[in-house]
Amino acid sequence: MSQLCITAVVNNWVEKPYLLAEHGLALYIEYEGKKFLFDTGSGETLLLNASNLGIDLTSLDGVIISHGHKEHTGGLSSLLAFNIKKLYAHPNIFEEKFSRDSKDLIRNVSAPVSHLLIEKSGVELCFNTKPVEIAPGMILSGEIPLDEESEEFIPPGAFYNWTPSGFKQEMILDEQALLIKTDKGWVIVCGCCHRGILATIKKAQQITASEKFYMLIGGFHLSDADHEFLQKFSHLLSQYFSVVVPMHCSSKKGFLTIYKIYGKQCISLFIGDTIEV
């Protein structure tokens, strides 16, 4: 029996005709008898896909939110009907957030659910800013600090908070990674990697005392990355990870660039697919 099973419930890519894709991410994680949902997608496809995949949302030990953008928090309100026990996240996930695209269009990407609604529903809010072990062998990273070296690997994108004096650039301090210990090595699960892959690696090294890791899975936010950044990003991955699973915002060109280095160790995980470790 596999030690860790991760199933794609929400993703940008789908093959099976009875499932739906959207711009978002949700992963069903089974590990050592525990069951967690990592992110909840944008909210349109989570329940349908989970039902068609036979995933019992009432059996979850908790829901983990990587960061407070809509495509990761949109399914939270619909999950409340399933008597979710615990919600693990950074306390800033409910802040109002905005993005600006290449055409200078600003859109609201905030979590479409309030802190008050979650609290009134009876869900235990487990907020953290520092590393916390949510189950034996599963660690939520806490805030991921930046330095001059790691800032070079922050994927492109413009994000803002609204303040009384206007828009203020946001560095998405609420983003966390999930670290899972397996016999093959540590697995790192990320939502969008907004804090940058090198900063994420450094934080994981600090927490796990490991120099290298078995697998990186999740969104890498590479849609707006140019060829030079993709090459630099992919070569950095090859120094630290044996297996890479690009999803969600990693983009097709991001996947193909990474695949040129990794070959079959760069895995495409469509909605409904499961990867076992």
Residue 170 has pLDDT above 90, yes or no: no
Average pLDDT of the chain is 94
Of 157, 158, 123, 161, which Cα lies nearest the Cα of 40? 123
Angle, CA 127 vertex, CA 7 and CA 22 arms, to 5°: 35
Summarize pLDDT for 45-86 with one digit per residue, the tens: 999 999 999 999 999 999 999 999 999 999 999 999 999 999
Evaluate if pTM is beyond 0.85. Answer: yes
**In a 10 Å sphere around its CB, with 0-12 CB exposed, 13-18 middle and 19+ buried, how is residue 163 labelled?**
exposed
Length, in residues, of the chain: 277
Summarize pLDDT for 207-264 with one digit per residue, the tens: 999 999 999 999 999 998 999 999 999 999 999 999 999 999 999 999 999 999 999 9
* Euclidean distance between CA atoms 218 and 133, whole angstroms: 20
Structural domains of the chain sorted by starting position, each given as residue range(s) with its CATH number in brackets: 4-276 (3.60.15.10)
Residue type, 215: M
